[in-house]
Structure 1
Amino acid sequence: MVQELTHFVDGKRLPGTSGKFGDVYDPNTGEVQARVPLADKAETEAIIANAEAAQKQWAAFNPQKRARVLMKFLQLVQEEMDSLARLLSSEHGKTIPDAKGDIQRGLEVIEFALGAPHLLKGEYTESAGTGIDVYSMRQPLGVVAGITPFNFPAMIPLWKAGPALAAGNAFILKPSERDPSVPLRLAELFTEAGLPGGVFNVVNGDKEVVDVLLTDDRVKAVGFVGSTPIAQYIYETAARHGKRAQCFGGAKNHAIVMPDADLDQVADALIGAGYGSAGERCMAISVAVPVGQDTADALVAKLTERIGALRIGRSDDEKADFGPLVSRDALDRVNDYIGIGVDEGADLVVDGRGFVLDGHESGFFAGATLFDRVTPDMRIYREEIFGPVLLIARAADYEQALALPTEHDYGNGVAIFTRDGDTARDFTHRVEVGMVGVNVPIPVPIAYHTFGGWKRSGFGDLNQHGPDSFRFYTKTKTVTQRWPSGTKEHATDHFVIPTMN
C-alpha cells in the first residue's frame, strides 16, 4: 500500500492542497512506497505567515529555556534511534548503521546548540568615552529556511535547524522530496519536546517552493546543500532579494597517498570513504592520488582485492557494506559516467555496471567501480559522479599531487596519507581546499568547529555549524549609551563627530 505523506505546519501534519505529488521509492525494490505532496505558492506563503506569527513568542523565550527544549528533543531522538534509522534507510538506501551515523552527526550539532546561552552573549566595554558604555547583543533574524539534500535527510536538516532555533528564529525546512519521512518525524519530535507550534515547519515541494522561500521578504536567510549549479542559483537569487545565504555545492575530494604511507591502512580507508553509502556523500573520497608508480601499482592491487570482498545488499542487511542508490536516475547517472570514463581512455580496473542483487532485480543497485590512470582533462575527473566510483590519478611527485586538488574547481575536502610530519604540515598550509584530513579519509569537522568548502563547493561567508552558525542566524545590534552627569556641555560639542578623546 502506498502511503500518503504530508507537510508539517503549526505543530501538526497537514495534507497538501496543491494536487501535485512526487513519488518516494523503496530503493531496494524500485517500487513506489509513498506519495509526497508538493506545495504551491499559496501553501508556501501560508506556512511562512504561520512561522512569522510563531517566531515572536519563541524569541521571547530566554536562551536557556530554548536550550532545554533542544535537550528534550535530543533525548526523544535518541530513544527513537532504531526506528528513525530504519525509516531513513528504507527511503534513502543507506545501511542501518550508516543511517544511525547520519542521525547521530545531526544530534551532535543539537548538542553544540545547547550552548546558546553562552554563544549568544554579546560584548561590553565600560567607559569607552567619558561616561559612555558600549555593548552589543545578538538577536534572531526572524523566519529562516533550510533547503536540504536527499543524501543526509537527518543530519543536514539538524545542522541547519539546531542553531537557528537556539538563536530564537522560526525555521522552515524544505527537505528532499526523495526521502521526506524522517524530516517529518523530526518535526513531530520537536513539538513533543515543547517547541511551540509554527516554530519548526516542513514544506515539501520542488522549485516552486524554493523560489517562494527565496523571494518572500519575510524569509530573512536561506541555507542550502546540494549540487553546485543549484547552490549558485540559490545564493545569487537570495542575494538579489536581500537575504543571507550559505550554500554548499558539489565536491571532488582527493586523497594524496605518499610513498611512506601504510598502504593497507590507506586501502581500507579508501574503500570506506569511496564506497560507503554507495558514494552518495559530499565528503566521499572520489580521487586517490598515489605519488610514484610503485605506490600506485601497489595501491591499485590492494584496492582491487578489497573491492572483490565487498558485500552489496539491501539497506536493512546487517552484513551489507553498502546498499542501493537513492533512485533510478541516480543509478543511470553513475552508469553513464562509467561509460564516459571508458570512452575517455581511463583504465577500467573494476566495472560496477550491471550488478544485480538476487530477488531485487528492479532495485537501484550499483557495484563498486575503480578507474586507473585518470587525467585532469577527463570529465570523470572534473565532474562529481556521486556514486560508488573511485578514480586513481597518478602523480609523479609531491608537487604534482598537491596541484591536483588545489587547481580543481571544487574545494570541499581533501586528505593526505603520510608518516612524515613536515610533508603533512606543508600540505595543510598550501592546499586550496576548505577541509583537510591528515591520515583521516573523511575530514568532517566535529560539531563545534565549522564545516564548509571553498571555490565552487561553497557560496557565502559563513559556514555550517560551529560558531559560524550562530553568527549566520543572528544579527548584531550595538548600543552606545551615556547617562548625563549634569555637567554643562558646550553647544559646539554637538557638531563634532564622537571620538574616544
Structure 2
Amino acid sequence: MTELAVLNHWVSNASFTGTATRTAPVYDPAVGVVSKHVRLAAAEDVDAAVASAKEAFETWGRTSIATRQRVMFAFRELINARRDELAQILTEEHGKVLADAAGEIARGIEVVEFACGMPHLTKGSYSVEVSSGVDVYSLREPLGVVGVITPFNFPAMVPLWFVPIAIATGNTVVLKPSEKDPSSSIWIAELFAEAGLPAGVLNVVNGDKEAVDSLLEHPDIASISFVGSTPIAKYVYETGTAQGKRVQALGGAKNHMLVLPDADLDLVADSAVNAGFGSAGERCMAVSVVVAVDPVGDDLIEKIRDRMGKLVTGDGRRACDMGPLITREHRDKVTGYLDIAATDGATVVVDGRTAEIDGAADGFWLGPTLIDNVPTTSTVYTDEIFGPVLSVVRVKSYEEGIALVNGGPYGNGTAIFTNDGGAARRFVRDATVGMVGVNVPIPVPVAYHSFGGWKQSMFGDAKAYGPHGVDFFTREKAVTSRWLDPSHGGLNLGFPHSS
C-alpha cells in the first residue's frame, strides 16, 4: 500500500515540519477516502511562524510601496496563469465542482487586484499652515504581525480576502487555514514566494484549536482576521480582544429571499436554485429560506422543483452541477434536518437522500433538497444548516416577510425579488442586514466595497477587504511639524523615480 503524503507547514518560504507529531486526515469527499494527512501545529510551531514573521516585518514594514507592488503584480500574473491548477486542488479537497472553484478563485483575484492599488489607498492627508509655519499631515502604517484564520468552505477565496491587503500594507502574516482542506493555502504561499515575496512575510501553520488559541494568545500577533461559524467567531473575538488585539470575526448566517407577488418567478426560481445549492449550500451567503408572499408559493415551488430535477449531483471533476459535502459527519448532520422537518409538520418536496449520484458510492453525498411550509419554530428554520437544503416559508404580506428577515439572530445577507422599485427601496432601508440584494440572490460586494454582516454574523467594527480591509490592517499617525530653516538635497539631474 502506498504511504500517504503528509502536508507540512510553510515558514520562512520553505516547507516546515515543526515539532508536533499529531496529524489529521484530509479527504477527497467525492470518493470518501483519505487523500493525505496534514500536520497539526503545536504552540511551539506557531511560535516559530510568528518569530519568522516578526523578523521579516523589520524589513518588510519599511520596504518601499513600489517594491511591495511589484510583488503583488507578479503574484496576480502567476495566479491568473495557474488558476486551473488551484481549481483542481479545491475540487479534490473541498468537493465543489470545477466551475464553482473557478468562480471562487475569480472573486479572490478581485481582492488581489484591489491590493494592487494600495499606493493610492494608503495615501494620507496634508494640511498647510494650520498655524503660522505649522503643517499637519497623516500617514498610515502597518500593524506588524497579523493572524488570519480561514474556513473550509472557501479555502482559496477567503485567504485572498485578507492576505494580499495585509501584505500590501506592509504587514507580515501567519495564516491558519482549515485542516479539512489546507493545500490551497500552502499553494498560495508558494506562489507568493515565486512572485518574490521575502521569506517570513507569509507563513502558514496547519492545525486545530491548539493552533487557533496559540494565535489568539500570542503577544506578538497584532490582529486576528477570522471567518467561520458564529459560536467560534464570538469566541475568537472575545479571546482576541481580551489579549488587546484588533479582531474582525465573521460568523454564520440564515439568509432569506423575500419574493413579492409581482416578481418574475422564473428569475426567482433560477436564483433560488443557484444560491441555495451552489457549493452544496456550504456558503455563508447561500439562500437558506425563500419567503413567498401569497399567492406565489405554489407556482414558485413547482418552478423550483422543475429546475432541481435537471441538476446532476456528483464528482466535481465530471460534468456535474453540485458536488459532495465536506465530510461524512457533516453530511449526516445535514440529513438529520430532513427527519426533523417531517416531524415538525413541514413537507419534504424533494428529498436529496434519494438523488442519483454521478460519483463513487462512498462519497459524502446529499442531493438538492426542497422543504415547503417550514414552521418558523423548527430548527430547520432557525439553524444554519450549511448544506443543500432550501426551505420555503409562506407569508401573507411584505410586513410579515420583513419581520422574518429581521427577526433572527443573524444579519449577514438577504434579498428581495420584485419589479416594484418602491418596494425594493423600502426593503433596502427596512432590512437590518449587512448585505442586501435587489433581484440579486447572493449580494457579495465587489472587492472595492467591503464584505460583512450585522448582529451575530459579525463581531468587530471592520468588515473584510475593500476600504474596511485597508483600515483594519493599518493605523493612522498624525504629525504636526514646523520647519524654521529651508534646506535642499543638492543637485541631481537624473529623472526622478521610486525605488
Task: Report Cα offsets for 1:47-88 as digits up to 9, x if no partner.
Answer: 101110011211122122211101100111111111111111
Task: Report Cα offsets for 1:164-186 as digits up to 9, x if no partner.
Answer: 00000001110000111111011
CA distance in 2, matches of 1:358, 1:264: 27
CA distance in 2, matches of 1:349, 1:356: 16
Aligned-residue offset at 1:46: 1.1
CA distance in 2, matches of 1:341, 1:75: 48
The residue correspondences of 1:25-424 to structure 2 (distance < 5 A) are 25-292=27-294, 294-317=295-318, 319-355=319-355, 357=357, 360-424=360-424
Helix, strand or coil at the partner of 2:225: strand
1:10 paired with 2:18, answer no
Read off the aligned partner of 2:369 and give its amino acid letter. Answer: T
Partners of 1:16 and 1:38 within 8 A in 2: no
Partners of 2:428 and 2:436 within 8 A in 1: yes
Aligned-residue offset at 1:376: 2.0
Aligned residues: 483
Partners of 2:345 and 2:375 within 8 A in 1: no
Read off the aligned partner of 2:260 and give its amino acid letter. Answer: M
Partners of 1:112 and 1:447 within 8 A in 2: yes
**Matching residue of 2:493:** none
Task: Report Cα offsets for 1:325-361 as digits up to 9, x if no partner.
Answer: 1111110111112222222221211111254636611
CA distance in 2, matches of 1:59, 1:30: 44
**Matching residue of 2:472:** 472
CA distance in 1, matches of 2:460, 2:431: 20
**Matching residue of 2:482:** 482
TM-score (norm 1): 0.95
CA distance in 2, matches of 1:195, 1:282: 31
Helix, strand or coil at the partner of 1:219: coil
Task: Report Cα offsets for 1:179-199 as digits up to 9, x if no partner.
Answer: 111110110000000000010
CA distance in 2, matches of 1:268, 1:358: 22
**Matching residue of 2:488:** none
Read off the aligned partner of 1:234 and give its amino acid letter. Answer: V
TM-score (norm 2): 0.95
CA distance in 2, matches of 1:162, 1:433: 27
Task: Report Cα offsets for 1:446-482 as digits up to 9, x if no partner.
Answer: 0000100000000010100111101000111111122
- 364-373 or 121-130, which deviates more: 121-130
CA distance in 2, matches of 1:119, 1:248: 23
CA distance in 2, matches of 1:375, 1:449: 36
Task: Report Cα offsets for 1:220-250 as digits up to 9, x if no partner.
Answer: 0000000000000000001100000000111
Partners of 2:315 and 2:359 within 8 A in 1: no
- 5-14 or 228-237, which deviates more: 5-14
CA distance in 1, matches of 2:197, 2:358: 46
Aligned-residue offset at 1:430: 1.1
Task: Report Cα offsets for 1:255-301 as digits up to 9, x if no partner.
Answer: 11111111011101111100111001111001001111x20111011
**Matching residue of 1:460:** 460
Aligned-residue offset at 1:217: 1.2
CA distance in 2, matches of 1:282, 1:214: 23
- Give the 3 Å change call, closer, same or farther, for CA 359–473 of structure 1 in structure 2: closer
CA distance in 1, matches of 2:195, 2:371: 49
Read off the aligned partner of 2:348 and give its amino acid letter. Answer: L
Read off the aligned partner of 1:297 and give its amino acid letter. Answer: D
- Give the 3 Å change call, closer, same or farther, for CA 136–359 of structure 1 in structure 2: closer
CA distance in 2, matches of 1:223, 1:214: 10
CA distance in 1, matches of 2:20, 2:157: 29
Read off the aligned partner of 2:451 and give its amino acid letter. Answer: F
**Matching residue of 2:494:** none
**Matching residue of 2:490:** none
Read off the aligned partner of 1:231 and give its amino acid letter. Answer: A
Partners of 1:58 and 1:199 within 8 A in 2: yes
CA distance in 1, matches of 2:452, 2:430: 17
Partners of 2:412 and 2:433 within 8 A in 1: yes
Partners of 1:334 and 1:385 within 8 A in 2: yes
Aligned-residue offset at 1:10: 0.1
Question: Post-superposition, which runs of at least 4 consecutive aligned residues in structure 1 deviate over 3 A?
Answer: none
Partners of 1:428 and 1:436 within 8 A in 2: yes
Helix, strand or coil at the partner of 2:394: coil
CA distance in 2, matches of 1:136, 1:113: 21
- 13-22 or 462-471, which deviates more: 13-22
Helix, strand or coil at the partner of 2:45: helix
Aligned-residue offset at 1:42: 0.7
- 21-30 or 64-73, which deviates more: 64-73
**Matching residue of 1:495:** none
**Matching residue of 1:499:** none
Gaps of 5+ in 1: 486-501
- 334-343 or 296-305, which deviates more: 334-343
**Matching residue of 1:489:** none
Read off the aligned partner of 1:155 and give its amino acid letter. Answer: M
